[in-house]
Amino acid sequence: MRVLMTGATGLIGRQLGKALAARGDTLVCLVRDVDDARRRLPFPATCHAWNHLCDVPAEALTGVDAIVHLAGEPVADKRWTAAQKALIRDTRVLGTQRLVAAVLAHGTRVRALVHGSA
């Protein structure tokens, strides 16, 4: 199975990615910083640069069967100022909207989208 994952460098994403890779799945990750992700990911993956303000690269969806969407600004790292709360919300809402739009436009094989958020 070819799985597209967001939030792969996070606590849950790293563990889930290892489990998916161990069972033989191919992973494609949307990450903010490709070089940093390649250093941090404990599993093999093809990485594409993406954030919630940009369209999802169409090539990232090529052949994808399922999506695990875990991306979002961490909720415990900083004080919850008005700006931080907006960022926490926007990374989840706008990111999900862009991901769904990309699936509708390019993800003809996608059979499942799982979304987890703090």
Q: What is the distance between the alpha carbons of residues 58 and 107, in angstroms, rounded to a whole number? A: 8
- Compute the mean pLDDT over every residue in the chain, rounded to the nearest whole number: 95
Cα-to-chain-centroid distance, residue 91 = 11
pLDDT band at 117 (very low <50, low <70, confident <90, very high): confident
pLDDT band at 107 (very low <50, low <70, confident <90, very high): confident
pLDDT band at 12 (very low <50, low <70, confident <90, very high): very high
DSSP state of 52: T
Most distant CA pair in the chain: distance in Å?
43
For residue 93, what are its two tokens?
Answer: 């809402």
CB 109 within 8 A of CB 60: no
pLDDT of residue 90: 94
CB 3 within 8 A of CB 26: yes
pLDDT of residue 38: 94
pLDDT band at 118 (very low <50, low <70, confident <90, very high): confident
